[in-house]
Amino acid sequence: MGFENSFFARRYGITGRDLDQYLSEALARGADYADLYFEYVATSHISLDESIIKGATEGVSLGVGVRVVSGERTGYAYTDDLVPEKIREAARVAACIADAPAKVEKVGLQPVAAHKLYEVALAPTETSFKERAALVERADKAARAFDPRIFQVQATYADSLRHVMVASSDGALSVDRQPLARLSVTALARAGSGAPQRGYAGGGGRLPLDTFLTDKTPERYAREAARQAIVQLDAVEAPAGETTVVLGPGWPGILLHEAVGHGLEADFNRKGVSAFSGRIGEQVASPLCTVVDDGTIPSRRGSLNVDDEGAPTTRTVLIEKGILRGYLQDKLSSRIMGAKPTGNGRREGYQHIPMPRMTNTFLLAGESDPEEVIRSVARGVYCATFGGGQVDITNGSFVFSASESYLIEDGHITRPVRDATLIGNGPEAMRHVSMVANDLALDEGMGTCGKEGQSVPVGVGLPTIRIDCMTVGGTK
């Protein structure tokens, strides 16, 4: 898409000359670098509870953020008003971070060659609300039809369409149109007068609405949520202590996000505060492990044509056969570290300063048969689904919460166990990976990652793997 036809040029009459002027203003105090981030986001949200649609909301937010970098210092200001005097004022405020004679004469903006990972002609946000509302109603019916013990269902559909334009003083000008949608279902099950149990499932991505009618259907997620809730009715206490753990394919890839991914974000490593700092080239995982962050997979929730600094996303090998290979870079960190940018500079929106973030993070498939992995375990825990996770990047401790897991007894999956947190240490846990199966799956497209108060959509993926020793936080 050329700049002249871009959303901001057409709708707000922004010209190349305007961008040059704003950037000159931002560089007027002698900074090394500046960028402008224009953002327009339209969102929709539909919620169903007790079989009726109780809420529908749509909205628009618009603004521009101006960032000025001088050495390792960043100045930032934004405005929710796109009139020239407001943008210039933001540029002047951000420029105060620098204090030297102006250096850059004229920027000479050139369009960036971006990927085409989500060419959705009609974004879900642009479709009729009736069609989208039908999705949550279908989910409700399917979850209730799954089993008479399902007594509560909540379904939520949400989408957004984000137009972004980044103009930077290194000459790069990028525009992107980023559709995103997700559908999620919560089901509660109860047997007789017993205690209720919950199941949760959903999916989405940068997709046309049709995908929810053909592949990522409401029925699929409704049945999955209902199934999980029913399974939990028979759950026994989870074991406590160190044991062998088998993680199933897909969403359990959150292991990599927490155990490895955050610790490899370049800002932490540039500052030397990560448990992985200064360990490039070292063995940090078993030789079976190759971990990749890839922002270029079509239609995925964590993918981007260009990152939020206007750089094309890439596929970055973080760990290759157990050896630490690289960090996730943004412009600031890559410049200071003298490293190649990886297109991982992301931000929640125009009010936020970008920083290195993950996109889609996963472990490459191995050669084992998934059945064989389970059969190899005499006693342990099999985790099929997880809730969220968290990591302390400095000491490496990470956790993730199993929401559907089972005991493994004599090589067989037996009884379901109640929710438990698993805890480990990033650089150590990955060394205990002793089997990697051939069934790599990416998650369904529901993940959101939080860092320093900013949320961004991400993806994870994993084949079935065996970890010889992890601490399981049960009660028995």
Partner 1 sequence: MNSSVNNLEELAAGAVRLARELGATDAECTVSAGDEFTTNVRMGQVESLKESGSRGAGVRVLKGRRTGSSYTSDLSGEDVRRMVQAALDLASITSEDPHAGLPEPEELGRIDADLKLYNDDIASIEAARKIELARETERAALDFDPRITNSEGASFDSYTGQRVFANSRGFLGSFRGSQCSLSTVPVASQDNTMERDYWYSAARSLAALEKPVDIGRIAAGRVLRRLGARKVPTQKAAVVFEPRTARTLIEHIFEAVHGEAIYQQASFLAGKLDCRIASECLTVIDDGTLPGLFGSAPFDDEGVLTRRTPVIERGVLKSYLLNTYTARKLGLKTTGNASRGLAGNAGISHTNLFAGAGPLPPAEIVKNVRRGLFVTELIGFGVNIVTGDYSRGAAGIWIENGEFAYPVSEVTIAGNLGGMFTSIEAIGNDLEFRGSTAAPTILIGEMTISGS
User: Which residues, numbered 90-109, are part of the site for partner 1 (CB under 8 A)?
Assistant: 90, 93, 96-97
Q: Does 454 bind partner 1 (CB under 8 A)?
A: no
Q: How far is the CB of 77 from partner 1 (least distance, A)?
A: 5
334 binds partner 1 (CB under 8 A): no
Q: Which of 16, 28, 30, 49 is close enough to bind partner 1 by CB under 8 A? A: 49
430 binds partner 1 (CB under 8 A): no
Single residue of 215, 367, 371, 394 touching partner 1 by CB under 8 A: 394
Q: Cβ closer to partner 1: 90 or 363?
A: 90
Choose the binding region for partner 1 from 111-119, 141-149, 280-288, 419-427 (rule: CB under 8 A). Answer: 419-427
Shortest CB 210 distance to partner 1, Å: 19
Nearest residue (CB) to partner 1, 153 versus 304: 153
Q: What gap in Å lies between CA 390 and CA 314, rounded to an integer?
A: 25
One residue of 127, 152, 299, 434 binding partner 1 per CB under 8 A: 152
Closest alpha carbon to 348 in 39, 29, 109, 67: 39
**Minimal CA–CA distance to 54: which of 62, 46, 64?**
46
Element (H, E) at 356: strand 355-356
Q: Per rule CB under 8 A, is residue 167 in the interface with partner 1?
A: no
Distance CA 33, CA 77 (A): 15
Binding mask 209-238 for partner 1 (x = CB under 8 A): -----------------------------x
Query: C-beta of 46: minimal distance to partner 1 in Å?
Result: 8
Run of H or E residues at 202: strand 197-205
Counting contacts by CB under 8 A, is residue 75 touching partner 1? Answer: yes
151 lies in the binding site for partner 1 (CB under 8 A): yes
Question: Which residue in the set 55, 84, 287, 298 belongs to the binding site for partner 1 (CB under 8 A)?
Answer: 55
Instruction: Please tell me whether residue 187 binds partner 1 under the rule CB under 8 A.
Output: no
CB of 197 to partner 1, least distance (A): 7
**Are 345 and 354 spatial neighbours (Cβ–Cβ below 8 Å)?**
yes
Smallest gap, in angstroms, from Cβ of residue 228 to partner 1?
A: 12
Q: Is position 462 an interface residue for partner 1 (rule: CB under 8 A)? A: no
Q: Which residue has the tokens 């971006």?
A: 114
Would you call 381 helix, strand, or coil by DSSP? strand
SS (H, E, C) 28-65: CCCCCEEEEEEEEEEEEEEEEECCEEEEEEEEEEEEEE
Question: Applying CB under 8 A, does 130 fall inside the site for partner 1?
Answer: yes
Q: Of residues 266-285, which lie at the interface with partner 1 (CB under 8 A)?
A: 271-273, 275
State how far the Cα of 53 lies from the Cα of 373, in Å rounded to an integer: 44
Taking the alpha carbons of 200, 363, 285, 368 in that order, is the dihedral positive or negative?
positive
Q: Specify the stretch interacting with partner 1 by CB under 8 A; choose among 289-297, 363-371, 375-383, 396-404.
A: 396-404
| From 78, 251, 362, 382, residue interacting with partner 1 (rule: CB under 8 A) | 78
Q: Are strands 110-111 and 454-457 parallel, antiparallel or unpaired?
A: unpaired
**Total residues belonging to the chain:** 476
Which one of the spans 289-297, 298-306, 310-318, 421-429 is the region binding partner 1 (CB under 8 A)? 421-429
- Choose, by CB under 8 A, the member of 61, 283, 434, 454 that binds partner 1: 61
Binding residues for partner 1, rule CB under 8 A, total 78
- Reported as type and span, the H/E element at residue 141 is helix 129-146
Among residues 203, 208, 389, 447, the one that binds partner 1 under rule CB under 8 A: 389
Q: Is 141 in the site for partner 1 (CB under 8 A)?
A: no
* CA separation for the pair 453, 357 (Å, rounded): 13
Q: Which 194-213 residues touch partner 1, going by CB under 8 A?
A: 195-198
Are the C-beta atoms of 384 and 199 separated by less than 8 Å? no
* Beta carbons of 447 and 391 less than 8 angstroms apart: no
Shortest approach of partner 1 to residue 158 CB, angstroms? 12
Instruction: Tell me if 253 sits within 8 A of 362, measured CB to CB.
Output: yes
Separation of alpha carbons 279 and 264, rounded Å: 10
| Residue 467 binds partner 1, judged by CB under 8 A | no
Q: Which of residues 292-331 bind partner 1 (CB under 8 A)?
A: none
Q: Find the part of the chain contacting partner 1 (CB under 8 A) among 20-28, 79-87, 166-174, 312-320.
A: 79-87
Place of tokens 């600031």: 332
* Cα(251)–Cα(444) distance, integer angstroms: 7
Chain centre distance of CA 409: 34
Residue 6's contacts (CB-CB under 8 Å, 6 or more residues apart) are 165, 175
Q: Which of 127, 296, 376, 421 binds partner 1 (CB under 8 A)?
A: 421
Window contacting partner 1 (CB under 8 A); options: 288-296, 315-323, 377-385, 391-399: 391-399
Considering Cα of 302, then 306, then 307, then 311, what sign does the dihedral take?
positive
Q: Checking phi first, is residue 396 left (phi over 0); if not, alpha (psi -120 to 50) or beta?
A: left
Contacts with partner 1 in 239-268 (CB under 8 A)? 240-242
